[in-house]
Amino acid sequence: AQSVTQLDSQVPVFEEAPVELRCNYSSSVSVYLFWYVQYPNQGLQLLLKYLSGSTLVKGINGFEAEFNKSQTSFHLRKPSVHISDTAEYFCAVSLLGANNLFFGTGTRLTVIP
């Protein structure tokens, strides 16, 4: 069975400061990894994904994530956050050959002016 753990339910950070949102997964087989962002009253938007190759993945809005197989982690980072980054962020995994995504419980990022 697979699972996704987002260790922090809420992360407050000052504007222009760096941020890291943590995600760990467990799976007995290879997985694909994703980060999604959800703004209030909206659906989910894909930030970035890791399928294979380089472990450092760059996404939209200046976000990046690093896949660490030995630590089964896929932490999301941004060097300088903006007010507009305030949202809920979800880490998700998909098993090879599977038709659906398994999501973590989300991390609410609040950027403080």
Partner 1 sequence: DTGVSQDPRHKITKRGQNVTFRCDPISEHNRLYWYRQTLGQGPEFLTYFQNEAQLEKSRLLSDRFSAERPKGSFSTLEIQRTEQGDSAMYLCASSLAFGPNYGYTFGSGTRLTVV
**Site map 12..41 versus partner 1, x via CB under 8 A:** --------------------x-x-x----x
Contact status, residue 69 vs residue 52, Cβ threshold 8 Å? no
Q: Does 70 participate in binding partner 1 (rule CB under 8 A)?
A: no
Cβ closest to partner 1, residue 15 vs residue 32 = 32
Cβ within 8 Å of residue 55, ≥6 positions away: 66, 67, 68, 69
Chain position carrying tokens 């222009």: 16
- The helix (H) or strand (E) run that includes residue 79 is none
Q: Which stretch binds partner 1 (CB under 8 A): 16-24, 54-62, 72-80, 104-112?
A: 104-112
Which range binds partner 1 by CB under 8 A, 20-28, 42-50, 56-64, 75-83?
A: 42-50
92, with CB counted inside 10 A (0-12, 13-18, 19+), is buried
Interface residue list for partner 1 (CB under 8 A): 4, 9, 32, 34, 36, 41-46, 49, 51, 90, 92, 94, 99-106
